[in-house]
Structure 1
Amino acid sequence: MDGIGAIAAIGGILLALVLGYAVLTNRRRSHADRRRTEEATRDLYTRIDRQDKVSDPDPHSF
């Protein structure tokens, strides 16, 4: 049982390190990078909505 506890502790520490790295890396993004990401996300949502409307023109037909 000690081995499983050690593995869980190491996994928790590793997860915390990876999450910390991701947060710090994300903070360093420039305003242009953030704007580009937001624009790409909006475009993706628009395309998905358009495809949904084509495949099911009446969403209340359940």
Structure 2
Amino acid sequence: MLYTLVENARANELDVYEYLKYLLIEMPNNHHLEDPSVIDSLLPWSKELPEQCHLKRNRKKCLKH
């Protein structure tokens, strides 16, 4: 399951560390068991993810070289 999270984060151009940290902080604090639709906001393609989860453009360029 962790591998899937990491690869989906990469495929959606997320900072894997920041995304996983965000999930570990948010999951215990939300009510996803009572309302499963909360999970949608945590998916790697969600537009509701905080900015720190997204790769910075300059950083991506550095990684390619």
| TM-score normalised by structure 2 residue count | 0.26
Which has the larger Rg? 1
Please state which structure has a larger fraction of its residues in helix.
1
Question: Which of structures 1 and 2 has the larger relative contact order (alpha carbons within 8 angstroms, sep 6+)?
Answer: 2
| TM-score normalised by structure 1 residue count | 0.27
